[in-house]
Amino acid sequence: MELGIGMFGDLQINANGEIQPAQQRLQEIIAEIKLMDEVGLDFYGIGEHHRPDYAVSSPEIILAAAATVTKNIKLGSAVSVLSSSDPVKLYQSFATIDLISNGRAELMAGRGSFIESFPLFGYNLQDYDALYEEKLDLLLKINASSKINWKGKFRPELNNQEILPRAVNDNLKIWVAIGGTPESVERAGRLGLPVMFAIIGGQPIQFKPLFDYYKKVYQAYGHDMNKFEVGVHMHSLFGEDTSEIADYYYPLYSAQMNRIGRTRGWAPYQRNQFDAGMSKDGALIIGDANQAIDKILALQETFGLTRFSAHMDVGGPSHAAMMKAIEIYGTRIAPAVRKALQP
């Protein structure tokens, strides 16, 4: 099982509502990725957002910068909002990162958790499903062949067009991110694409039927089980002491949940929800190394994971807290999990 970190590029927001400068956060992110590589984590993913509380609108720029200061860690998006992107340009950007990084680039396609990119790039939300379906089809065709003949509804057709540059070994690793709809699970299984499930609330065990369905569809379409990959993306933060990290993190985490919740009609986030999430059966991987090890191993046993992604910047923890969490993850949690999973 690969162990890594996902981020959305949350900006730190103080009690007065003042937002951290994006320039500062971007530089912190590069330093954090560099440390992830140094402590031996397997992969890093960064999301795409077009909002004032996030620093990153273009994952590929961050990943290209990170490629120059890292040696081994895989570098991907988490996610690229495929519905409002041009698959041609997206493939070219990630193929370029792949060449710069000697084959470490990955593209994770998704619909995104916000809708700002649709009006920003001139797309109609009424086409939400059709856009994703068509653009995923084109992206996969580009990955399979350098010369493309293609016609769709939402972009000009391609007539014997050559898409360059090509990724290392002429193959870019493409994941799909899924929030929990059976239709998305069926599509991923049918296409044989690796899947990252976002489990950001409730109890992870509730997702078991979707994992089972994905595996069933994947096998039914004759895909090679030796290439079967499935992961989870879960809100996480690690510290020396579980109580201390929880008390530090709750105000930041709840503030972010409430910022998002106000636009979605959620009730105010409460400490009892946070504590339930931190419990043995909850979806928050927040605490000391031992607690994290136990929960990650339990998730692997339940779901047969090949990848665990700790989403570690929700609400904008300080750079110091992030660096400490990365150090604990790489030097204590990851080695213990790997040792426990050795055959």
Q: Positive or negative CA dihedral for 174, 176, 182, 183?
A: negative
CA torsion angle for 65, 69, 70, 76 (degrees, to 10)?
Answer: -10
pLDDT of residue 3 exceeding 90, the answer is yes
Structure confidence at residue 112 as a pLDDT band (50, 70, 90): confident
Contact 230, 305 (CB under 8 A): yes
The DSSP annotation for 239-266 comes to: -SSHHHHHHHHHHHHHHHHHHHHHHHTP
pLDDT computed for residue 318 by the predictor: 98
pLDDT average, residue stretch 289-299: 98
**Cα atoms in the Cβ-side hemisphere of radius 13 Å centred on 135:** 25
Based on the structure, what is the number of domains in the chain? 1
pLDDT computed for residue 261 by the predictor: 92
pLDDT of residue 15 exceeding 90, the answer is no
**CA dist., res. 268 & res. 12, Å (int):** 20
In 3D space, the residue among 332, 322, 321 whose CA is nearest the CA of residue 289 turns out to be 332
Entry field: residues in the chain: 343
CATH of the domain at 245: 3.20.20.30
Structure confidence at residue 61 as a pLDDT band (50, 70, 90): very high
List the beta bridge partners of residue 178.
197
Position 335: which residue type?
A: P
pLDDT computed for residue 263 by the predictor: 87
Residue 24's domain comprises: 2-341
pLDDT of residue 336 exceeding 90, the answer is yes
Q: Which residue has the tokens 């997206």?
A: 90
pLDDT of residue 253 exceeding 90, the answer is yes
pLDDT digits (tens, 9 = 90+) for 188-220: 999 999 999 999 999 999 999 999 999 999 999
Structure confidence at residue 312 as a pLDDT band (50, 70, 90): very high
pLDDT computed for residue 28 by the predictor: 98
List the beta bridge partners of residue 237.
286
DSSP 72: S
Write the CB contacts of 288 (distance below 8 Å, at least 6 apart in sequence).
Answer: 238, 239, 240, 241, 242, 245, 328
